[in-house]
Structure 1
Amino acid sequence: MRAAVLRSPGTPVQVEDVELADPHEGELRVRVEAAGVCHTELHYMSGDIPCPLPVVLGHEGVGVVEESRAPDVSVGDRVVFTWRPRCGQCEYCVTGRPVMCVYGRVQARSGGLMDATSRLSTPAGEQVHHFLGVSCFAEHVVLSRRAAVVVPEEVPSAVAAIAGCAVVTGVGAVLNVASAEGSLAGRSLLVVGAGGVGLSAVIGAHLVGAGPVVVVDVAADKLALASRLGATATVDASGLSPAEVVEAVQEATGGGAHMAVEAVGAPATLAQAFSAVRPGGTVVAVGLSAVGATVPVPVNELVQQQKRLVGSLYGSANPPVDLPRLLELYAAGRLPLDLLLGASYPLERVAEAYDALASGAVGRAVVVPGAAA
């Protein structure tokens, strides 16, 4: 099959022939319909975050099951891939924090599936690794049943694909974390970063009635899309100092946001979000950064103003429960996920898709392995 392979940081991803072994017990072989172009891969492409190499990239996608070694999934079922499996037995799964499942780390560190071994190789026999247990920039994947959620056939492929990461992360940060302290209805929310995850947070904020909803970004076209999705105010930070950004947010929210979702992952923007929330406010950090990156937090401001800074991986979601619920809301017209979609690319142009993302492309692009090059 054809797949997008990263062989070393700083070099372009190449589409090449890769062998895919048969699924083991508890695994699925899936024909990929669509795969989302997520910023996370850029961290690995640049070397900011290391992983076993060579690796087939792609962690956000959807496909149709062609072979099942799991009793509760049938050939022909449509599944969304999740890059955090749920084993159901570890400390995190049994205490209601399945995105922290220990097998997520096993997959990430080994470059394998839940048993830490790979099903990927080159025709010459060289081992190729899985990316976060998925590797869906390919015509087919083999993955654990624990990393797949059955979804309705009627949901468009591109929408189902981005739901598996961007949507569940952004909407989940609002529903599962920001709303955990009480209803957000009528309370101000700041979203920093208007990429796929940040825009999903805007959709989530609109769903729960938060307001005002303020979005900060450096791209006017992304801010325009944020307004279409429910932002009540936007701040173009391209020509502003950090202090001016904070001042603009505080003015738009009447003294600072009650809650903030930081979807960029840069220390500078995370620090701005912390400064921009009001006393008693909470910042939910969802964006990844380079390994070792740190953010300075003013100790007295943290203590005297009782601000909170919390991390949220994958929207702190329970994917087998949350993904079907989000897609039901989409089907009911409550989540305008179609507006999140950007350009579509065939698999052979995946490198072009990432060049566009790095250059500030608007919307969540999607790779379609079955499309003509």
Structure 2
Amino acid sequence: MRIRGAVLEEIGRPRPYAVSAPIVVTDLDLDPPGPGEVLVRIEAAGLCHSDLSVVDGSRVRPVPMLLGHEAAGRVEALGRGVDDLVEGQRVVMTFLPRCGECAGCATDGRMPCTVGGAANNAGTLLGGERRLHRGGSIVHHHLGVSGFATHAVVNRHSVVPVDDDVPPEIAAVLGCAVLTGGGAVLNAGRPREGESVLVVGLGGVGMAAILTAVASDIGEVIGVDAVAEKLSTAVELGATRVLTPRELAEQGVVADVVVEAAGNARAFEAAVSATAPGGTTVTVGLPAPDARASISPLSLVAGARTIVGSYLGSAVPARDIPVYADLWRRGRLPVERLISSRIALDDINAGMDALADGTALRQVIMFE
């Protein structure tokens, strides 16, 4: 079938992206779903730093690539063997499919799926297939989703069904920002009653961590960012205290669970320094591969501190997304507050500029 999507043509073009236009909105051909696959009509897709990291070269992927990994839509067709979904059903896309059979999948979310990770790096679906073409040439998939398009064919393991009462833009954000930020708190940090949570970096993922910590009714929730508007938003979302990075260092504030969501080596160092004795640092940001941080091993030993890496919030999407959807439904997780703007697909290059400038939480492309 003929679809329209946003294809990254070249990695590393200079900013502003609105001028250099590394992403081209174009017509493509999409194969029908094969065995174990699903055709989804995309309703909404969020712009995330994992998309930007491919555009700016922090994460090298094969190009041309149809970007987008945080999305939601309606099932339009089912491949052979998919018998647990129905046409018309709303689904959330998840960017790390789990095969359910490898050693990584046996860790209850602690480790990524080995097969899914390899497929993501290669630009294929979980089974190694590529279903996108343009002018007879292959276009690669982004993280098994390629959600910046009118339609997508994905592996069944890349979608989680949600009820119709969850709007598409909410459903989309559940699939990455909330899974990652919320999971960093609940799955990796695991704060106990009365313990404090501090979040360094208040983008979409960091704000989702704030929301989840507040919804958990634990102890103090502290937000750290250099952008004043984001600190104000964190307070509106329920943070009991906010600080700039300088204030964090000068005041010596510490917390039991510290989430680093900035994807920056200096932010990671600040997060470790702000972790109380006996506490846990959870790092979910994705810095450049050559980024390096300096910490004191003695502070880890003497203070009995723990550092945990958490990919996709150590989530099992099929288990966790329904939990977050129910929290949203009960008014305890106002995910809509993470959406800073709704944009058109044709505005995607300018949207990447806003993401790089740190002026947006979650921009969501609406297809209807």
TM-score range, shorter chain: over 0.9
1:253 aligns to what? none
- The residue aligned with 1:115 is 127
Q: Does 2:75 correspond to 1:73?
A: no
Q: Is residue 55 of structure 1 aligned with residue 55 of structure 2?
A: no
Tell me the secondary structure at the aligned position of residue 100 of structure 1.
coil
Letter aligned with residue 223 of structure 2: V
SS of the counterpart of 1:63? strand
Q: Tell me by how many angstroms 1:117 deviates.
A: 2.3
Indicate how the Cα distance of structure 1 residues 66 and 220 shifts in structure 2: closer, same or farther if over 3 A, else same.
same
1:45 equivalenced with 2:55 (yes/no): yes
| Map of 2:356 onto structure 1 | 358
Per the normalisation by structure 1, the TM-score is 0.92
- How far the C-alpha of 1:268 sits from its partner, in A, is 0.4
Task: Indicate which of 248, 264, 269 corresponds to 2:251.
Answer: 248
What's 1:217 paired with?
Answer: 225
Q: How big is each residue's C-alpha offset from its partner over 1:34-72, in whole Å with a ceiling of 9 and x where there is no partner?
A: 001111111111111111111000000100011011111
Unaligned 5+ runs, structure 1: 251-255
1:253-272 matched pairs, under 5 angstroms? 256-272=254-270
Gaps (5+ residues) in structure 2? 14-21
Check if 1:164 corresponds to 2:175.
yes
Q: Give me the whole-angstrom Cα distance separating, in 1, the residues matched to 2:115 and 2:366.
A: 28
* Alignment-derived partner of residue 290 in structure 1: 288
Rounded Cα–Cα distance in structure 2 between residues aligned with 1:212 and 1:326: 21
Tell me the TM-score normalised to structure 2 length: 0.94
Contact 2:110–2:310 (8 Å) recurs in 1: no
Q: Counterpart of 1:96?
A: 108
Post-superposition offset of 1:211: 2.4
Please report how far the alpha carbon of residue 98 of structure 1 lies from its aligned counterpart in structure 2 after TM superposition.
7.3
Instruction: State the SS of the aligned residue for 1:18.
Output: strand
For the residues of structure 2 that align with 1:359 and 1:100, how far apart are their CA atoms? 30
**Aligned-pair CA distance for 1:270:** 0.4
Query: How many equivalent residue pairs?
Result: 356
**1:9 is matched with which residue?**
11
RMSD, aligned CA? 1.4
Q: CA deviation at 1:249?
A: 5.0
Q: Distance in 1 between matches of 2:252 and 2:299?
A: 18
1:162 maps to amino acid: V
In structure 2, distance between residues paired with 1:245 and 1:332: 34
Would the aligned equivalents of 2:99 and 2:116 in 1 still touch at CA under 8 Å? no
**Partner letter of residue 7 of structure 1?**
E
Q: Distance in 1 between matches of 2:102 and 2:358?
A: 39
Letter in 1 for 2:132: L
Q: What is the one-letter code of the residue matched to 2:12?
A: G
Amino acid at match of 1:247: E
Task: State the distance in 2 between where 1:195 and 1:288 align.
Answer: 13
Residue 205 of structure 2 aligns with which residue?
A: 197
